[in-house]
Amino acid sequence: MDHQEALRLNATEKYFLGELQGDLREAFEEHYFGCSECALDVRVTAAMMEAGRHVALADRPSVAPVVVPVRPAQAPAARPSWFAWFLRPAFTVPAMAAMLLFIGYQNLAQLPKFFKAGSAKIEYVRTVTGDSTSRKSGAAKKRISIGAHDPLYLSLDLDPNEAANYYVTIHSGNSNGPVIVSLDIPRSDDHNTLTIRLAEGTLTSGDYTVTVLGYSGSAFTGTGNQVDSESFALEIRR
């Protein structure tokens, strides 16, 4: 790689964004070790990133997970066993963890807004490690691996026309398994993409199923039309 190519590729930016891999990364490293201009560019960017991290960490409390009160699910008459899971002590901690659900919407610093409801097909499930491949629901179970201190992001595309409101639940195991996390999404005109950030420790390694129910009315009563469901296997790396 020569200097002009490094400039043409925006190599420095790609390097620090982790977009240079393999031979291209090695070629850029060989270049900046020998090119004083690119070495300066790399050093300045590294200093900015390191100082920027200091700033971002210092500002983190202002973008900390917002406690989103989850409307208590009323036990549906036909499924008393489902509601009973919430009362079990084993799920007290996960239930509290559910209070820490953070709805990421465009700007991490903004208070969460309610999302425009729509077709809540789960288009993809992503992880912070970059181990993310999108797939359509219905395919084989997706495997996700995240570090012990990484949050888990779940992204849902909501199509405005399918339901008035949505109720998202994450079950341990299949969709009949105990609810670990639940999130009520009332109607909104704002946006049709919902990103749920689950703080580290919310889930443990295991199999999970995300289900999205659509419902109308002012409050979720425990029943709704299943819009989509997707399973994934989560590995927490230690």
Partner 1 sequence: MELVSFDESYLTRLKNDDPQTVEHFVAYFGELLLIKLRARRLQPADILDARQETFARVFAALRVEGKIRQAASLGPYVNSICNNVLQESFRAGKRAESFGDDPPDVVDKSIDILDDLTKRQLAKLVREVLATLPSKESDILKAVFLEETDRDAVCCMFDVDREYLRVLVHRAKERFRGAYLKKHPEPNQSVTEKKKV
- Taking the complex as a whole, the smallest distance from the CB of residue 86 to partner 1 amounts, in Å, to 29
- Taking the complex as a whole, the smallest distance from the CB of residue 10 to partner 1 amounts, in Å, to 6
Nearer to partner 1, 48 or 233 (CB): 48
- Taking the complex as a whole, the smallest distance from the CB of residue 4 to partner 1 amounts, in Å, to 17
Task: Decide: is 187 part of the binding site for partner 1 (CB under 8 A).
Answer: no
d(CA 119, CA 206): 27
Interacting span for partner 1 (CB under 8 A) from 24-32, 74-82, 87-95, 158-166: 24-32
Interacting span for partner 1 (CB under 8 A) from 42-50, 80-88, 179-187, 226-234: 42-50
**Scanning residues 92 to 151, which ones bind partner 1 (CB under 8 A)?**
104-109, 126-130, 132, 147, 149-150
Among 82, 115, 153, 232, binds partner 1 (CB under 8 A): 153
Nearer to partner 1, 2 or 87 (CB): 2
Contact set with partner 1 (CB under 8 A): 10, 12-19, 25-26, 29-30, 32-37, 39-59, 63, 104-109, 126-130, 132, 147, 149-150, 153, 155, 193, 195
